[in-house]
C-alpha cells in the first residue's frame, strides 16, 4: 500500500477577502516533488443544514433563487454559522430554521458533519435533524433573500431527488443521512 503525504506549502497569500469568503493562493510542493503554484483555496465559514420533519411526516423546505445557477431551487433551510452560534450546529440550525422558514421544532439533533468540497474548500457542512416542526412566527430574511416555504411529503422525496427536484448535492446527502437517523429511510 502506498503511503500518501500532504503537500508542503511554501508560500501563501490572500487574494480576496470579504465577509463571505477568503480566497487564498498557496504555493505547494507535492510529495513527489511536483510544484503546484498557485493552488486556490476557498476559506468559508462552516454551514448548517436543517432537515425538519413535521408531525404529519412532511419536510419543511425552501424554494429560493440561487445566482450561481441562475435558477430557483428547492433546498434545505440553513446557512452560514455565525460567531454568535459559538460553533454549535444546533444553535446555528435553530436560528437559521426560524429565520428562513418562520418555523420552530420540538427537538434538534446533530446528525453528521461533512466537507462540501475538500479539494478546495476549508469548511464543513453540519446536518441537524429537527423533529416536530411547526409554524412559529415570521421569516426574517438576510439581504437579497426571498424564500418560499414548501412542505414536502417524505414519501415523495426520493422520487423528487431522482427527477432533479433537489439539485444541491450536499442537501441530498443531508436529507438522506438525517432521514436515516430519524428511521424514515434505510440503506
pLDDT at 186: 87
pLDDT digits (tens, 9 = 90+) for 57-72: 999 999 999 999 999 9
Summarize the confidence of residues 87-113 as an average pLDDT.
98
- pTM of this prediction? 0.94
CB burial string 126-140: b at 16+ within 10 A, e below: bbbbbeebeeeeebe
**Class (C level, CATH) for 47-181:** alpha beta
pLDDT digits (tens, 9 = 90+) for 121-153: 999 999 999 999 999 999 999 888 999 999 999
pLDDT confidence of 93, banded at 50, 70, 90? very high
Contacts with 63 (C-beta within 8 Å, 6 or more apart), sequence order? 72, 73, 74, 75, 147, 148, 149, 150
Cα distance between residue 97 and residue 52, in whole Å: 9
The domains of the chain are located at 8-43, 47-181
Amino acid at each position: 500500500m502506498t503511503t500518501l503525504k500532504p503537500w508542503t506549502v511554501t508560500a501563501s497569500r490572500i487574494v480576496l477577502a470579504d465577509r463571505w469568503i477568503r480566497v487564498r493562493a498557496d504555493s505547494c510542493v507535492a510529495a513527489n516533488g511536483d510544484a503546484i503554484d498557485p493552488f486556490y483555496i476557498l476559506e468559508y465559514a462552516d454551514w448548517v443544514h436543517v432537515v425538519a420533519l413535521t408531525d404529519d411526516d412532511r419536510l419543511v423546505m425552501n424554494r429560493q433563487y440561487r445566482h450561481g445557477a441562475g435558477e430557483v431551487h428547492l433546498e434545505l433551510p440553513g446557512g452560514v454559522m455565525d460567531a454568535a452560534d459559538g460553533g454549535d450546529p444546533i444553535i446555528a440550525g435553530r436560528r437559521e430554521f426560524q429565520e428562513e422558514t418562520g418555523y420552530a421544532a420540538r427537538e434538534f439533533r446533530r446528525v453528521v458533519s461533512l466537507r462540501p468540497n475538500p479539494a478546495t474548500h476549508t469548511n464543513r457542512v453540519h446536518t441537524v435533524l429537527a423533529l416536530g416542526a411547526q409554524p412559529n412566527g415570521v421569516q426574517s430574511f438576510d439581504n437579497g433573500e426571498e424564500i418560499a416555504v414548501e412542505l414536502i411529503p417524505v414519501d415523495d422525496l426520493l422520487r423528487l431527488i431522482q427527477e432533479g427536484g433537489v439539485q444541491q448535492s450536499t442537501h441530498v446527502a443531508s436529507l438522506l443521512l438525517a432521514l436515516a437517523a430519524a428511521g424514515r429511510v434505510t440503506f
